[in-house]
Structure 1
Amino acid sequence: MRVTTTDPFALLWRALERPTGASSDFDLNPDYVPPADRVLRPAGVLVPFLETERGLRVILTKRSSRLKHHPGQIAFPGGKVDPGDADAIAAALREAQEEIGLDPANVEVMGDLPAHETVTNFTVTPVLGRVRAPFAPRPEAGEVEEVFDVPLAHLAKIANYRVERRWWRGQWRNYYAVPYGPYYIWGATARILRGLAERMKG
């Protein structure tokens, strides 16, 4: 992909070319030892970028408060790789269509970031996607409470990230957070975004 100086996606294209290592929920918790018998399951999430008059925006979801796992948390559209998925990219596109009504044909896959390992035993591949045209989100009933977007400029600024902690399974767990307005973006979502911000900073 040829990048021009007027391309609003230029920083993202260059960020994808920069080599970096994988990340995990344990980056800020080096003393945590995961169970030896755990099995990591592959998953894919879409990091959708939408070009607007206000600049590039990142589309995120707020999970339903009725869900058993991660209720009310901010997340990318995505999920585990199903047997019918060719790979994590296919899973991310399929889940984005199911969760927010984003047609895969309306997404230009730019590339993916190194996998992120979660405390819930997933190895998540973040897939960066350029949304070709505006669309009307259709939140999946029962799973997605809200679809919203955040300025990439806010998420690309390292100073907006902070380290916080919670008591988890008998010990303190440190994690990244990058709040925006009423939205508390934290955990794996914030860690993936911070990794992207580091790449964009170069």
Structure 2
Amino acid sequence: MLTAPQTLLRERLLKALSVPAGPSSDYELNSHVPDNGHLRPAGVLAAFDRQGRLILTKRASGLRHHPGQISLPGGKVESFDTDPTAAALREADEEIGLKPSQVEILGTLPPHRTVTNFAMTPVLGLIRGDFTPVPETGEVDEVFAVPFAHISDPANYRIERRQWRGDWRAYYVAPYGPYYIWGATARVLHALAVRLTA
């Protein structure tokens, strides 16, 4: 059963999902877009808890890709996954202990192209009942929640720049307390925030 905040949130998210939008990209704020060939499909889960807060992870510092970064639970679509939604649910179970049966799927946002050559599909969902995260050792250093009011307000996002592979790269950021939310995660959340205010 959904809480009152989740019921209101459900209506807002479903309305946002009905707003037309195209795919996004890590390169859209930059002039140079490399031709990297085939993009690998992936799914990430944007799940909201009983208080309407978004669940995010801080990736383990020892990981090869994106160590220490803030991310949505998820990963690449494996051969046994039926689609990006299945991959997102499977990875959320593995990474933070969120069982697929506890998630009500509302829909998906358009795929986002990452600099690591993935077509990442954000999956929106609501967590039924209480949820106590269990971070996967070696993969996740921390699991935390961000208020809906923070991620849903476009004013909380800004564009920053840094040098990457010999060139300047621009990207979205949406810092929250000690957490520096940026890159692909900030970009897809910004896209959601824009649709929520449309």
Q: Provide TM-score, normalisation by structure 1.
A: 0.93
Which residue does the alignment assign to 2:43? 44
Instruction: Report percent identity of matched pairs.
Output: 61
Which residue does the alignment assign to 1:67? 63
More divergent stretch after superposition (70-79 vs 9-18): 9-18
Which residue does the alignment assign to 2:21? 20
**Deviation, structure 1 residue 122:** 0.1
Q: What's the secondary structure of 2:169's corresponding residue? A: strand
C-alpha separation in 1, matches of 2:9 and 2:95: 27
Contact 2:89–2:100 (Cα < 8 Å) also in 1: yes
Question: Given residue 24 of structure 1, which amino acid in structure 2 is its aligned partner?
Answer: S
Q: What's the secondary structure of 1:8's corresponding residue? A: helix
Runs of 5+ consecutive residues of structure 2 not aligned to the other structure:
none
**Deviation, structure 1 residue 160:** 0.7
Deviations for 1:23-76, whole angstroms, at most 9, x for unmatched residues?
0001111x11313x5321000000001122xxx100000000011110000000
Aligned length: 193
- 1:97-108 to 2 correspondences below 5 Å: 97-108=93-104
Runs of 5+ consecutive residues of structure 1 not aligned to the other structure:
none
Does residue 168 (structure 1) correspond to residue 168 (structure 2)? The answer is: no
**Deviation, structure 1 residue 184:** 0.2
Deviations for 1:120-176, whole angstroms, at most 9, x for unmatched residues?
100000000110111110100000000000001111111110100110111100000
User: What is the root-mean-square deviation in Å for CA atoms of aligned residues?
Assistant: 1.2
- 1:5-16 to 2 correspondences below 5 Å: 7-16=8-17
Out of 79, 85, 99, the residue aligned to residue 83 of structure 1 is: 79
Ranges of 4+ aligned residues in structure 1 off by more than 4 Å? none
Question: Given residue 12 of structure 2, which amino acid in structure 1 is its aligned partner?
Answer: L
Q: What's the secondary structure of 2:9's corresponding residue? A: coil
C-alpha separation in 2, matches of 1:119 and 1:69: 11
Does residue 197 (structure 1) correspond to residue 193 (structure 2)? The answer is: yes
C-alpha separation in 2, matches of 1:134 and 1:142: 25
Deviations for 1:80-128, whole angstroms, at most 9, x for unmatched residues?
0000000000000000000000000000000000000011100000000
C-alpha separation in 2, matches of 1:172 and 1:178: 19
C-alpha separation in 2, matches of 1:38 and 1:21: 20
Contact 2:49–2:131 (Cα < 8 Å) also in 1: no
- 1:98-177 to 2 correspondences below 5 Å: 98-177=94-173
